[in-house]
Every structure is written in C-alpha cells, then in structure tokens.
Amino acid sequence: MSFVDQLFGVAGKSVLITGGSRGIGLAIAEGFVRAGARVYICSRNADDCKAAAADLSQHGQCTALPGNLGSSEGRHQLIADYSAHEGSLDVLVNNAGALWAAPIAEYPENGWDKVFDLNVKAVFFLIQGFLPLLQAAASAHDPARIINVGSVNALRIPEHETYAYVSSKAAVHQLTRHLAGKLAAQNITANVLAPGLYPSKMLANDIATKGEESVSGRVPLGRLSNALDMAGAALYLSSRAGSFLTG
C-alpha cells in the first residue's frame, strides 16, 4: 500500500449515508464506493434508493436500505436493516434533509415540524441508535466518524424565507460540536460539512431563473461546488489524514 493510500484511503470501511440517492448524498456515496468502501445508502423513496445503489454498484459495493427517517419507526428499522449486514459502523454520514420556504406570516407549524424532525431530531437519534456500532468500529488511531451535513446558511443571513431550514442547520452545527466534545473519549469524531452553493434540487429554481453565472458570482471562487468537492471533503474526514480533526 502506498503512503498516499495509507493516509487518504478508506478501502474496506463500512459507510452509511442518509439521503444517499441524489444530490450531495449521492456524490458522497459514489466517492466512497469508488474508493473501495462498503457503502449503504438510505432514502425515503425505495425505488430511487434501489436504482441509485444499482448504479453505484457498477463501481464497487453499494446496498440500498430505504426508509423514512422522519419517524422513530423508520429510524429503528434502518438501524435493524444495517445491523443485518454489519456488526460495526466506521462512518455515518447524516445528509438527509428537508426544506420549507414560505413568507413569515404564512409559515406553517407542520412545515416547521417536518423540517426539524428530519434535519435535527433524526440526526441525533440516528447517532444515538448507531452508537454501539460506532463504538465497535472505533480505535485511538482510527476513530469512527460522524459527518453531519449542515449549510453555509447556518452561518449567514439567507436570501430566501427558509426559517426552519436555516434554524435546523444552525442546530446541526452546534449539535455536532457538542457531540465532538462528548464522544472524543470514545474515539469517535464528529464534524459538519457546510456545503456552499451546490447544483442540487434546492438550488434548481435559482439557477433556472437567474442563471448559474449569476448564482455562482456570490461564491469567492466564482463557481458552484460539485460532486468531487463533496466526495473529497467526506473522504478526507474519514481517512487517516482526517483522524485528528473533530468538532
């Protein structure tokens, strides 16, 4: 094994990615599959989940574990389904999320609850449920990894009226810091990715109405992020190179 493989490789690791059938989750999943990890993806739509896993399996190992993580039953089912395949979990990527936009005077309570149930509550209780499997994978020099997907809009005032979404992502950022402090003694790291402007379903309307050049003009590097940017960041955090980074 080369030095680069030792430092940045993730081959043989078990990885679970929620929201893994499209967008950022799919990009991260493909990166891990191509790097030789055993990858499991979860998404609410079973057909989409299975189709994405079948496509990714052309490049390596990927298994579909469909489920609705917005409910306690769905989360427990995912933990049971994953446990039928693996006895430990090296990397948990919490990427599944919901968005709700509406003017402040019209913002519905059920929309707020839907966003927080998936974006915050599901993240915490999945980590709680998978904790024994993360502990089983963890060691001092190769910790188990938690990667939560946040947002740059957790750190700035957003353009659109997405009150629950930005609040939930800010909560994810702080939750991740809190987890990092508490789980370090168990050799589990917790980090958050705050993707910039990514050409996902959430950004599609802006790109369609304003044009990609106008949208990307807000980014210091002058371009939208892409699949390799997302995969690269997750692979780094999960490799030996990222093993001393938490919080």
Active site residues: 165
Reported residue count of the chain is: 247
CA 43/CA 48 separation, integer angstroms: 8
Query: What residues have CB less than 8 Å from 100, skipping those under 6 apart?
Result: 107, 108, 111, 112, 114, 115, 162, 164, 165
Query: What residues have CB less than 8 Å from 8, skipping those under 6 apart?
Result: 235, 236, 239, 240, 241
CA 189/CA 14 separation, integer angstroms: 15
- Tell me how far apart the 2 most distant CA atoms of the chain are, in Å: 59
Task: Please report which helix (H) or strand (E) contains residue 47, including its range.
Answer: helix 46-56
**Helices marked H in 143-196 — which ranges?**
163-183
Please tell me the number of Cα atoms within 13 Å of 104 on its side-chain side.
0
Instruction: Give me 202's structure tokens.
Output: 């959430």
Contact 232/31 with Cβ under 8 angstroms?
yes
> Is beta strand 91-94 parallel, antiparallel or unpaired with respect to 61-64?
unpaired
